[in-house]
A and B are shown apart, each in its own frame.
Chain A
Amino acid sequence: MNTLTVLLLLLGIHLAVSERMRPAIRSLAAQGFLLGLLPLLESPGITWRAAALSLATMAVKGVAIPAILTRAVSRLDIGQESESLVSTKATIFLTGALTMAAFVVCTRFGLSGKDELGAAAGLTLLFSGLFTMTTRVKAVSQVIGFVVLENGIFLFGAASGSEFTLPIELGIFLDLFVAVFLMGILMFKIQRAFTHMDFRKIHTLKD
């Protein structure tokens, strides 16, 4: 359990500081698969509920969302660099600070329930996801930040022992999937509108 949490945390830190898109998306997919193991590890035996949740997590966070993002990176002409408003050194330093802050908040305010490390790691992912969303320039990176934030909340919820009936849990996954799907569609549409506008500009200049 703790090994899993540490791996999730390390992947999160890699996601926060990586300068290129593809490695970041691969880390995101790995994080999705690891999160998918959580329901299986938490339930006493392998139950239908745990299996369904695990499958849904892996399908949405491990496969579907990374696929959408990979498609966006390769089809959209945006390059590999995930440009940031702050330098890489500053990002590394701030990510470390945010991790510390998350652990301090968790222990100081006694937020962590049965799984202290999990709660703190979840909060770290939440903070670093928000950080990514605010400092990264490109749309794909912002979506990655959003998914990291969601992963953090998922981990934090699992560590606090909050669980709902299966339809609600599946509804939550469906919402996340549709949100990222729509963001993907919008990225393509915005790109197309940009080129369309440029095309028109050239056209009017010729007249």
Chain B
Amino acid sequence: MAQLLFLPPLAAAVAALLARSPWQAALGTAAGAALLLAGAVLQASSLPAEAWGDLLRLDELGMYFLFIVAGVHLACSVYSYGYFRREMEAGRIGAAKVRKYHIWINLFVLSMVVVVSSHHLALQWVAVEATTLFSAPLIYLHGDRKGMEAAWKYLLICSVGIAFAFLGIIFLSRAAGDIPLTYTAVPLAAGHLDPRFLRLAFLFFLVGYGTKMGLAPMHTWLPDAHSQAPAPASAMLSGVLLNCAFLSILRVAPAIPGTYASPLMILFGIVSIAVPAFLVAVQRDIKRLLAFSSIENMGIVSLGIGFGGAARPAALLHVLNHSVAKVLLFLVAGDLILRFGTQRIRKIRGVLRQAPLSGFLLFGGILAIAGSPPFGPFWSEFGILAGGVAGGHLAVALFYLVLLAVLFGSFLAHGSNMAFGEGERNTATPAEWWCLVPACALLFASLWMGLHVPAGLYKALEDLSSMVSFS
């Protein structure tokens, strides 16, 4: 019954289309998000769920990613109510555009639900391309020139990237012959398939979906797109869309020989950590800072998959940890941007003094994303390091550690400047609880994942990691 999960976002999109006011549309989005989460919980007990022949199959791995999509969507939809109310009060956006936001965000979520529940790899491709198309209007929602240029770059670069992924699908179908191109059938038959075409297919999957995932050096669209979208949309782009592209790469992994695929994942991973390590310190825009951190974290995740062994469940755990911390930070950044009237880091100063709760959330989020204990990302980053060392990748693991230390320093410097620094007072804006409550919940979740990784979750991830290991 996996197709029933398409209904909540679809219904919420229709509701937004028919809504008489932006608030009705927001209510529809929030209800759709809650229903999606509830549906996912109900479905979780009967997996795998197949439907529509060999087109749909929601398994445990897809369900893990679906939970992240639904959870983040719920947090963002509650937040978006308060966020857009404030933007409308400030005259930065009109009611028609808020309605547009709710239409597109629900279609965007729908396309991601299709990505995680696709069985056929070509259907998955169609859905990944659809995520680009449905999220592009969110990037130029405000209708300013920068947003449109960012959306243009996003559409063009990601469409070309996805086109390369389609070349990967063509190679895979060359290798597979009459075998259906599903993520279950292809790995089963992988031993009999032409390894040359399998390797080519993986290379193009990695470059193509890697573009969408934000892996360096194909990441150039990402900082523009993620900094121009309104805060809740940025959070969704960074927090869940990148994961969906990552899942699309993982789906072919079991068919590919590890001797070929692991070094590639390690290479793209370490480059994607190294590029932000040089650029985070000099960022001047708070949302671009967070966008570069997303590139870094996608690098960490693919490094973990490349290391294999014990690093693999840690990489899957890091997907969740990154989503929680990054969404938290984008939500707080949206609050700060409205409060200070600027995205420039240099102008955002003394947050802790002027808005204690926002400052607390900001500093907590920065600590979490920098990989400091006691937050969740510390454990998953450490797990990947340990897995790398245990797997004999000593030099790469050491380099990874150095880069993490550099990034930790840069984030801490930015974070403490914004939280504690001295700057001009902004006009006192009252706290908006619709914005702060979801952020508090996310900070609590990140802390909880750091103090006590749920044993059941870790066990489940270890089971899942056998589904994403190379052959």
Contacts and interface: CB of A to CB of B under 8 A. Distances in A.
Interface of A: 110, 113, 126, 130, 133, 139, 142, 146, 149-150, 153, 156-157, 160-165, 167-168, 171-172, 174-175, 178-179, 182-183, 186, 189-190, 193-194, 197
Interface in B127-185: 129-130, 132-133, 136-137, 140, 143-145, 148-149, 151-152, 155-156, 159-160, 163, 166-167, 169-171, 173-174, 181
A194 B149 CA distance: 11
B137 to A, nearest CB: 8
Given A142-B156, A182-B155, A153 B133 contact: no
B120 interface: yes
B129 A175 contact: yes
Contacts, number: 90
B170 A175 contact: no
B126 interface: yes
B155 A183 contact: yes
Closest 7 CB pairs of A and B: A162-B173, A171-B126, A175-B129, A193-B145, A157-B170, A168-B122, A164-B122
Given A156-B167, A171-B123, A179-B133, A189 B156 contact: no
A174 B276 CA distance: 36
B55 interface: yes
B169 A162 contact: yes
A128 B155 CA distance: 19
A178 B133 contact: yes
Nearest to A171: B126
A186 B130 contact: no
Given A172-B166, A189-B148, 9 more contacts: A146-B163, A153-B163, A168-B120, A172-B125, A182-B155, A186-B151, A186-B155, A189-B143, A190-B149
A200 to B, nearest CB: 11
A132 to B, nearest CB: 12
A179 B148 CA distance: 15
Contacts of A162: 169-170, 173-174
Interface in B49-80: 53, 55
B145 A186 contact: no
A175 B156 contact: no
A162 to B, nearest CB: 4
A168 B126 contact: yes
Contact of A130 (B144, B148, B160): B160
A153 B173 CA distance: 14
19 contacts: A113-B174, A126-B167, A142-B156, A146-B163, A157-B170, A161-B174, A164-B120, A164-B173, A165-B120, A168-B55, A172-B166, A175-B126, A175-B129, A175-B130, A175-B133, A179-B159, A186-B136, A193-B145, A194-B145
Contact of B55 (A133, A167, A172): A167
Given A186-B148, A190-B148, A153 B160 contact: no
Contacts of A142: 156
Given A164-B181, A175-B129, A189 B140 contact: yes
B166 A146 contact: no
B218 to A, nearest CB: 14
Contacts of B120: 164-165, 168
Tell me the dominant secondary structure on chain B's binding face: helix
Contact of B145 (A160, A165, A178, A190): A190
Nearest to B148: A190
A174 B143 CA distance: 25
A179 B122 CA distance: 17
B156 A182 contact: no
Nearest to A189: B148
B148 A160 contact: no
Contacts of B151: 186
Contact of B170 (A110, A156, A167): A156
A102 to B, nearest CB: 13
A168 B149 contact: no
Contacts of B196: 110
Contacts of A160: 170-171, 173-174
A186 B139 CA distance: 11
A57 to B, nearest CB: 15
B143 A179 contact: no
Contacts of A175: 126, 129-130, 133
A173 B170 CA distance: 16
A133 B160 contact: yes
A172 B126 contact: yes
Contacts of B173: 160, 162-164
Interface string B449-468: 00000000000000000000
B3 to A, nearest CB: 13
Contacts of B136: 182, 186
Q: Which of B126, B130, B144, B170 has the most CB of A within 10 A?
A: B170
Given A162-B169, A175-B130, A197 B160 contact: no
A47 to B, nearest CB: 18
Interface in B320-343: none
A47 B148 CA distance: 43
Contacts of A190: 145, 148-149, 152
Given A164-B181, A171-B123, A189-B143, A153 B152 contact: no
Contacts of B145: 190, 193-194, 197
A156 to B, nearest CB: 6
A142 B156 CA distance: 9
A137 B71 CA distance: 42
B366 to A, nearest CB: 34
A193 B148 contact: yes
A149 B143 contact: no
Q: Which of A126, A149, A179, A190 has the most CB of B within 10 A?
A: A179
